[in-house]
Amino acid sequence: MTALIWFRDDLRLTDNAALRAGSADSGGIVALYVLDEESPEMRPLGGAARWWLHESLSRLRESLAVHGVPLVLRRGPAERVVQEVVEQAQADRVYWNRRYGDERALDARLKTALRERGVAAQSFQGGILFEPWTVLTGSGGPYRVYTPFWRACLAAPSPAPPEPAPERLRASDATLVSDVLEHWELQPTSPDWAGGLAERWEPGEEAALAKLDRFLTERAAGYEAGRDTPALDVGSELSPHLRWGEISPRTVWHRTLESGVSAGGFLSELGWREFASYTAFHNGRLHERGLNAQYDGFPWRAYDSHAVGAWRRGETGFGLVDAGMRELWQTGFMHNRVRMVAASFLTKNLLTDWRVGEAWFWDTLVDADAASNPFNWQWVAGCGVDAAPYFRIFNPATQQKKFDASGEYVDRWAPESIMLPELVDLRETRLRALAAYESIRGASRER
């Protein structure tokens, strides 16, 4: 028996249920990754994510090669490509780890098609702690508020411990043609804007596990007190590794609890990530439409290329916003507190549709996640589930005084911001935003 292991957002060997299932097959395994940019359910990756994917696939290829298993790369619609490889490898079973967003429709069609051909197809719990259909309200529906959702998760049986990587893997005897990773052109060439990403990050499973250990031994003790201070190095920086499945949330969860550090706030961040995936599962297409229909008629201003361009370049004249946007461009990352401030400035002070900002983050973040990215933008804009109240408008000047009083973060990333003219008047634009939100609330009351 030969098993095809279809890698997706699980680019690791440790705690990989699909890989462990296939490792027991006597005919060996075929390890496959499909770059699918054509299926309607798949959102094409942004530039920073493509860079990370290239590096992560390189590391996965090396890890599998230690066991004598080649990584087969193919490009095209996954529904077609997987079946082609099944036929070429004469595989009689296919294993994969589940996805929970719009891709589920593709996976369901493929599972049906394979079974109709007599090929066993089995999926396993993917990159989340709790399967979304197991966490429901008393009335049987999905939660729309984070706190009771997470309370229900914590009351459920604890996530299973992570499984070790298979001790032995055997490659199938099939000879398969693989694409050349470099031919996919996932990395920029001219101009090469990825130097800052390469300097900041080391993708791959080995780096992810080392980063978790470093966080628990060196940073976790200061996390609770310093998590909102962007100049402090107390964060785990695990988000891109989790996004690409180089480390599983179960590994993070259990190692954190076993470490003995006080990390309730850190684990609650895993809970927020869980809530984003949960919301995507129950709603879908988060990057296209708001979850609160009341905001469908929100009076966004016409697209202002000058204002949006200044926001993207970090030239708004507001230090915390500018520092965050420049950190994002140079490193593919931004501190979570600063993400909220930058998003609030775009949506509320500039009254720019949240989808504009979400698309920019999707293109520039190495941890751009199909659930978390739009989920968090909707939270700031006020149109998501459990969203920030419409009247919560983060004042970037006040936020800087509170969380970067010494100016260390701003001086690191945008020291000249103080010399730039301020793009807007904060008080005036705040009142304008409140009036806009009140207009749709009034319209809703009249209906």
191-206 pLDDT per residue, tens: 889 999 999 999 999 9
For the chain, give the percent of residues with pLDDT over 90.
91
Q: Which two tokens stand for residue 153?
A: 């998760």
Closest CA to 242 of 207, 216, 214: 207
User: Tell me, what's the pLDDT at 443?
Assistant: 57
pLDDT range class, residue 262, cuts 50, 70, 90: confident
User: Tell me, what's the pLDDT at 388?
Assistant: 73
217-247 pLDDT per residue, tens: 999 999 999 999 999 999 999 999 999 999 9
Q: Is the pTM of this model over 0.75?
A: yes
Place of tokens 């420049």: 326
Mean pLDDT of 391-400: 94
Q: Provide the residue ranges of all domains of the chain, joining segments of one domain with +.
A: 1-126, 127-161+204-283, 293-446
The answer to whether 32 and 7 have CB atoms below 8 angstroms apart is: yes
pLDDT range class, residue 111, cuts 50, 70, 90: very high
Instruction: Reply yes or no on whether the pLDDT at 446 is more than 70.
Output: no
The answer to whether 231 and 320 have CB atoms below 8 angstroms apart is: no
User: Tell me, what's the pLDDT at 249?
Assistant: 98
Q: What is the mean pLDDT of the chain?
A: 95
**Residues sharing a CB contact under 8 Å with residue 381, sequence separation 6 or more, in sequence order:** 290, 295, 343, 347, 348, 354, 387
Residue 351: CB atoms within 10 Å: 19
CATH fold for the domain made of 1-126: Rossmann fold (3.40.50)
Residue 218: CB atoms within 10 Å: 11
**Residues sharing a CB contact under 8 Å with residue 70, sequence separation 6 or more, in sequence order:** 31, 61, 64, 171, 176, 178
Mean pLDDT of 92-113: 97
**Residues sharing a CB contact under 8 Å with residue 175, sequence separation 6 or more, in sequence order:** none
Positions marked active-site: 269, 272, 300, 336, 354, 377
Judge if the upstream peptide bond of residue 299 is cis by omega within 30 degrees of 0.
no
Which one is predicted more confidently, 442 or 59?
59
At residue 21, what is the residue type?
A
The answer to whether 339 and 55 have CB atoms below 8 angstroms apart is: no
Maximum alpha-carbon separation in the chain: 70
125-149 pLDDT per residue, tens: 999 999 999 999 999 999 999 999 9
CATH fold for the domain made of 127-161+204-283: 1.25.40
Residue 118: CB atoms within 10 Å: 7
User: Tell me, what's the pLDDT at 387?
Assistant: 77
Q: Which two tokens stand for residue 228?
A: 């909102």
Q: Which two tokens stand for residue 275?
A: 């809530």
The answer to whether 95 and 122 have CB atoms below 8 angstroms apart is: yes
Bridge partner list, 29: 3, 171
Using CA atoms, how far residue 296 sits from 142, 174, 391, in Å, is 22, 53, 17
Closest CA to 359 of 296, 303, 426: 303
C-alpha Rg value of the chain to the nearest Å: 23
pLDDT range class, residue 442, cuts 50, 70, 90: low
Mean pLDDT of 368-396: 91
Mean pLDDT of 428-433: 97
pLDDT range class, residue 15, cuts 50, 70, 90: very high
Torsion of CA 177, 38, 47, 266, to 10 degrees: -100
Residue 178: CB atoms within 10 Å: 13
Mean pLDDT of 77-86: 98
Q: Which two tokens stand for residue 362?
A: 């999707």
Closest CA to 101 of 354, 355, 372, 290: 372
26-54 pLDDT per residue, tens: 889 999 999 999 999 999 999 999 999 99
Mean pLDDT of 255-279: 93
297-350 pLDDT per residue, tens: 999 999 999 999 999 999 999 999 999 999 999 999 999 999 999 999 999 999
DSSP 346-412: IIIIS---HHHHHHHHHHH-TT--TTHHHHHHHHHHT-STTPPPTT----HHHHHHHH-TT-HHHHH
User: What distance lies between CA 162 and its chain's CA centroid?
Assistant: 21
Using CA atoms, how far residue 66 sits from 176, 201, 284, in Å, is 18, 23, 39
The answer to whether 385 and 277 have CB atoms below 8 angstroms apart is: no
User: Tell me, what's the pLDDT at 24?
Assistant: 87
Judge if the upstream peptide bond of residue 191 is cis by omega within 30 degrees of 0.
yes
Place of tokens 């087969």: 72
User: Tell me, what's the pLDDT at 440?
Assistant: 87
At residue 173, what is the residue type?
D
**Residues sharing a CB contact under 8 Å with residue 222, sequence separation 6 or more, in sequence order:** 232, 234
User: Tell me, what's the pLDDT at 445?
Assistant: 52
Report the distance separating Cα 347 and Cα 345, nearest Å.
6
Residue 269: CB atoms within 10 Å: 18
Residue 437: CB atoms within 10 Å: 19
Instruction: Reply yes or no on whether the pLDDT at 122 is more than 90.
Output: yes
**Residues sharing a CB contact under 8 Å with residue 305, sequence separation 6 or more, in sequence order:** none
Is the CATH number 1.10.579.10 carried by domain 293-446? Answer: yes
Instruction: Reply yes or no on whether the pLDDT at 444 is more than 60.
Output: no
